[in-house]
Structure formats: structure tokens, C-alpha cells
Amino acid sequence: MRVDERDIAPGSEATEVACRRCATTVLVRKNSAAQTSVQWRGDSAATCTELAERRAAGLHPALVPKCESLTASIDEAVADGRVTIT
């Protein structure tokens, strides 16, 4: 996976992580080992098929912050050292 630093806002410590299933990219920032912030760009359900399916099933968007594949992709990025605690 390629992390494009040009897309990260100047001065921010966030790292771009792409969902391996839907290719949605989010900005990830880790404040501590237990806390990870994820910032969506635009409408998540418009780009993530998994989220779109869950919303279609009646789940409120706020209860579906990210899809399983993205969660796994973020965990991987953290394990790889691409997302560091800032």
C-alpha cells in the first residue's frame, strides 16, 4: 500500500490508510496505544461498500464508524509502524 504524504494536511501527524476491500482512504492518528482517531474524507458510505450495506440494513451511521476491512488495515498499518503514536 502506498501512503501519499501530499494528501496529508500540512502540520498534521495523521497518516493515510486505505481500506483493502473498498479502497476508501482515511486519515489515521494514534494518540496512545489504546486510542486511534480516524477521519473520513467525504461520505464513508458513498465509498465503502461494507458501510453502505450496513446502513442499508438500518444501522445508524454513527454506530458504524468504519468497516471491518478498514479496521484490519489500520491495525496492520500500526503493526507495520506506518502509524505511530503522536
Binding status of residue 64 toward Zn ion by CB under 5 A: no
Binding status of residue 14 toward Zn ion by CB under 5 A: no
Binding status of residue 17 toward Zn ion by CB under 5 A: no
Binding status of residue 19 toward Zn ion by CB under 5 A: yes
Dist CA 42 CA 32 (whole Å): 26
Binding status of residue 77 toward Zn ion by CB under 5 A: no
User: Where along the sequence are the contacts to Zn ion (CB under 5 A)?
Assistant: 19, 21-22, 48, 50, 67, 69-70
